[in-house]
Structure 1
Amino acid sequence: MIDKPRDYCGIFGIQNHPDAALLSYYGLHSLQHRGQESAGIITSHYDDEKSRWVMPAHRDFGLVLNIFDDPKIFENELKGRAAIGHNRYSTTGAAKNPANIQPFRVHYHEGNIAIGHNGNLANAKQLRDRFREEGVLFQSTSDTELILHLISHSQKDTQIEQVLDALEQIEGAYSLVMLTDDKLIAVRDPNGFRPLALGKVDGSYCVSSETCAFDIIDAEYVRDIKPGEVLVLDQDAGSDAEPVSYQLEPEHGTGTSQCIFEYVYFSRPDSKIFGENVDKVRRNLGKYLAKEHPVNEIIQKDTGDTKPIVISVPDSSNTAALGYVHENQKFGNECKYEIGLIRNHYVGRTFISPGQKSREQKVRTKFNTVKGVIEGRSVIIVDDSIVRGTTSRYLVNMIRQANPAEVHFLVSSPPIISPCYYGMDFPTPKELMANRFDRDIDAMAKEIGVDSLRYLSADGLVNSVKEANLSGDDYCTACFTENYPVPVNFGVEKEENEIV
């Protein structure tokens, strides 16, 4: 509904806790922003009556609160002291296929194994073609299933060795939670594209795409899963035992390539990812935006004693807008942060709008202007990104109807010029506004109806993130620079290589 890239998934896992399924439910609820089409939880326990390990699952389309609205699911169905969960957003064509709802589970000669995946395998087409030649049948269109086939076909002796063998054959972006009969395994690809953190609650370890899931269950953040790390948590090892860690080496020797867009837009501001608070980084983005585009160089009209106002497009750009205002005020550039747009949080992705102007009407159901704040003022809108530009145009039109003196648009990231192939849903290159107008900023400003349009530079983006996060790790900026750190088979069809 909103003209933004979408992240494909959120994952959560917990080991050796009596309320494993319930805590996974709370964790997935906190990660709902990472995927809203389907969700699932799988647990593991030994069934005395059947004399074997079992992995019950509960998965369905919809939001977490709706899928798990019956307490009996946790009392009678999802038994066990270990669980993994998954929120999913998918490609359009594969979204309605129930076989694609994760986590996946299989039973093979070494026992049960379940998996939840956030990312995209760059060599999925080659792997799928190889398995098809061997006569392997696929149950889904997701590249996650390929990992399970690699594990089950491995000739290694133990299940952990089989998992490591499989991971050495995949490339691209992947943060994984895997559940065996008695172990929880957390994996992050050697480039570290997607975030994954380790926490602890009541003496039990848990893992999550973002630390906001730890807060809701009162878990302590321990550390990030390291790029290339395979962390094994053994149920029989006891709560005092340290996890066993293995290390994968990067296939292409590119080092870390953490997704910088996680800071710009995807992750919640109350989360810590890649070792730093998202809120802190976003305020830094606003700070650098102010250095490059101060208010006194933007405003064109004299509105008397009325200060220019800065408004954000809620919610992801709120903190960047605050950082922008604070930095301007610090150097004497007069401006004021105001709430000029109100977001309706109760509009679902499937909202059916009346009439024929569907997209514009959906924007109006999502946002509304505070006319008394905007009228007669010089307005600076701060947003985190522009993709196609359609939503930006509708928002500016709504603000124009409130009779401002002038309207300017600031973006706390560079122009998006290329798609992501590492676990995000982006439009094709020709659909991106920056490409449609050959990166002509004046033409793009005219397209969305503003007096001026300004972006944070690529150097400003990287410097603002690195200033806030002193870890020394590098970041993937491919969507802004076309510099892809891991080769991708660009000819693959989404339906054949579904990103999760």
Structure 2
Amino acid sequence: MTLTTSPYDDDHLHEECAIYGIFGTSDAAAHTALGLHALQHRGQEAAGIVATDGTTFNVHRGLGHVGENFGEDNQEVMDQLVGHSAIGHTRYSTTGETALRNVQPLFADLEFGGFALCHNGNLTNALQVREGLVRQGSIFQSTMDTEVIIHLIARSRRASVVDRLVEAMNQVEGGYSLICMSKDTLIGLRDPFGVRPLVLGKIGDAYILCSETCGLDIIGADFVRDINPGELVVIDAKGVRSFFPFRPRPSRFCIFEYIYFARPDSMVEGHSVYAARKGIGAELANESGVDADVVVPVPDSGVPAAIGYAEASGLPFELGIIRNHYVGRTFIQPTDKVRHLGVKLKHNANRGQLEGKRVILVDDSIVRGTTSTKIVEMVRQAGATEVHMRIASPPTTHSCFYGVDTPERSKLLAAQMSVEEMAEKIGVDSLAFISIDGLYRAMGEAARNNDVPQFCDACFTGDYPISLTDYTGGRTRQLSLLAEAS
């Protein structure tokens, strides 16, 4: 049996996509492929690039990793992606059959010429808008929310590409960052709340838009600044121009970017992700310290927080669990017996650092709890006398609707159980999560402001800053992000 999602999966929330665009270099597609490679952590199941020389648009999209589509074994593909401007996308799929027609960037020939678009996030009224467009005669080629934007732009009677895009985006809701490309223009846009990230960089005379600064570092580009919430930037032969076409809203950047999504070496919204995670670990130790002998991270995402926890608690930090980085997300497992070998395909206990010790395990989150249970069992089998788990985020009690692959609320362990019940289920001597105020303190805020929270923390609080038009009766009606419609 071939599985598309590993039962040994790390049981984390998954970011849906990365976006990348560059304007003003003859090697635009090659730069974009490298940038997507640096952003591979944001999506591992599909990748695409569209490039233009100002006359022709060249497209390649495929399932699989960036390297499988744009690596050294695919030089003929790269040779075809000629142009001075390019945009690219990499994505992690939701449930269902992955389909090439749903891989971004999307491209269409519109009244004003070729137009390509890639999108990180989710439109929360996409189904409602789509149904209206279909009634008016629109024909959709994918099941993605992103395609709604293309149709709205196509129907606009505004004169310029930018004005058409603004008119389209005024008809949708959600958390998003977009990169768009016409024959002579690159456009970047963040939603008014700034939920999803987008940064501006420069290398030589070329400008870059991408999800994280690590996408700049890989090609030696300079970070210029973050694109602001609600900001639209136009990059063309005249340089960079900035507009704010939407009603201002308070910033509600996704706090899970700091906890898990972003790469540790990125700078996000002025914060070092690595430093933020260490700070969260330190705050977690201050809130929920326990007598123990050693602090052990659940690799890889728990490492920075565990370092911060160890430093704040004065306990030694040890790699008591070793991760096998060569286990893919798709593999063959012939029998149920092999399936039940469980997490050891990805993780193995480092017995010498665990045997006879009271262990504090630090991880970034608990979603369903399946992996946590297997990790704890493995650590106990390696001889730990006590196992205490500390989580560098508050309990995940609500689903995300702004571009993160989250299970239904009924499948979120923290939505169904108390902390004590969770501790019993996963088999630890104690379990503690950082508090929501502790998380805010770690990010440099005094506490969460209940009137105007500084971040989007809806997965912990249920406080959704953007209306959920397509969510009714406790059941999502949103379009899939990379799935065939059921």
Range into which the TM-score falls when normalised by the shorter chain: over 0.9
- What is the alpha-carbon distance in structure 1 between the residues aligned to residue 437 and residue 79 of structure 2? 54
Change beyond 3 A, Cα 1:85–1:291: same
Determine the structure 2 residue equivalent to 1:314. Answer: 299
| Deviation of 1:159 (Å) | 1.5
| 1:266 is aligned to 2:261 | yes
- What is the alpha-carbon distance in structure 1 between the residues aligned to residue 58 and residue 446 of structure 2? 43
| Deviation of 1:168 (Å) | 1.5
Determine the structure 2 residue equivalent to 1:277. Answer: 272
Q: Which of 407, 425, 429 is 1:451 aligned to? A: 429
Structure 1 length as normaliser, TM-score?
0.90
| Deviation of 1:71 (Å) | 5.1
- What is the alpha-carbon distance in structure 2 between the residues aligned to residue 141 and residue 290 of structure 1? 45
| 1:499 is aligned to 2:481 | yes
- What is the alpha-carbon distance in structure 2 between the residues aligned to residue 485 and residue 496 of structure 1? 17
- What is the alpha-carbon distance in structure 1 between the residues aligned to residue 302 and residue 82 of structure 2? 40
Aligned to 1:420, the other structure's residue is in SS state coil
Q: Aligned residue pairs: how many?
A: 467
Between 66-75 and 134-143, report the one with greater CA deviation.
66-75
| 1:408 is aligned to 2:416 | no
Q: Deviations over 1:35-72 (max 9, x none)?
A: 111000100114xxxxxx21101110001111113353
Aligned to 2:21, the other structure's residue is in SS state strand
Q: Which amino acid aligns with 1:499?
A: L
- What is the alpha-carbon distance in structure 2 between the residues aligned to residue 411 and residue 326 of structure 1? 16
Q: Which amino acid aligns with 1:458?
A: I
Q: Which of 414, 429, 435 is 1:434 aligned to? A: 414
Mapping 1:72-151, distance limit 5 Å = 72-73=75-76, 76-93=79-96, 95-151=97-153
| Deviation of 1:494 (Å) | 6.5
- What is the alpha-carbon distance in structure 2 between the residues aligned to residue 362 and residue 405 of structure 1? 22
Change beyond 3 A, Cα 1:327–1:212: same
Q: Which amino acid aligns with 1:417?
A: T
Q: Deviations over 1:422-459 (max 9, x none)?
A: 0001111111111222xx22211110011010110011
Determine the structure 2 residue equivalent to 1:373. Answer: 353
Determine the structure 1 residue equivalent to 2:216. Answer: 214
| Deviation of 1:215 (Å) | 0.8
- What is the alpha-carbon distance in structure 2 between the residues aligned to residue 56 and residue 494 of structure 1? 36
Determine the structure 2 residue equivalent to 1:17. Answer: 25
| Deviation of 1:157 (Å) | 1.3
Determine the structure 1 residue equivalent to 2:233. Answer: 231
Q: Deviations over 1:69-109 (max 9, x none)?
A: 3353465300001000000112222x422110000000011
- What is the alpha-carbon distance in structure 1 between the residues aligned to residue 120 and residue 44 of structure 2? 14
| Deviation of 1:122 (Å) | 1.1
| 1:336 is aligned to 2:316 | yes
Q: Is the 8 A contact 2:342 2:374 kept in 1?
A: no
Give identity over the alignment, percent: 44
Q: Is the 8 A contact 1:360 1:394 kept in 2?
A: no
Alignment gaps of 5+ in structure 2: 1-8
Q: Is the 8 A contact 1:22 1:74 kept in 2?
A: no
Aligned to 1:118, the other structure's residue is in SS state strand
- What is the alpha-carbon distance in structure 2 between the residues aligned to residue 87 and residue 361 of structure 1? 31
- What is the alpha-carbon distance in structure 2 between the residues aligned to residue 362 and residue 86 of structure 1? 32
Q: Is the 8 A contact 1:353 1:361 kept in 2?
A: no
Q: Is the 8 A contact 2:124 2:478 kept in 1?
A: no
| Deviation of 1:499 (Å) | 3.3
| Deviation of 1:272 (Å) | 0.9
Determine the structure 1 residue equivalent to 2:6. Answer: none
- What is the alpha-carbon distance in structure 1 between the residues aligned to residue 74 and residue 26 of structure 2? 15
| Deviation of 1:121 (Å) | 0.4
Aligned to 1:295, the other structure's residue is in SS state coil
Aligned to 2:202, the other structure's residue is in SS state strand
Change beyond 3 A, Cα 1:61–1:494: farther
- What is the alpha-carbon distance in structure 1 between the residues aligned to residue 263 and residue 191 of structure 2? 22
Q: Which amino acid aligns with 1:215?
A: D
Q: Is the 8 A contact 2:192 2:249 kept in 1?
A: no
Determine the structure 1 residue equivalent to 2:5. Answer: none
Alignment gaps of 5+ in structure 1: 47-52, 300-307, 330-334
| Cα-Cα RMSD | 1.9
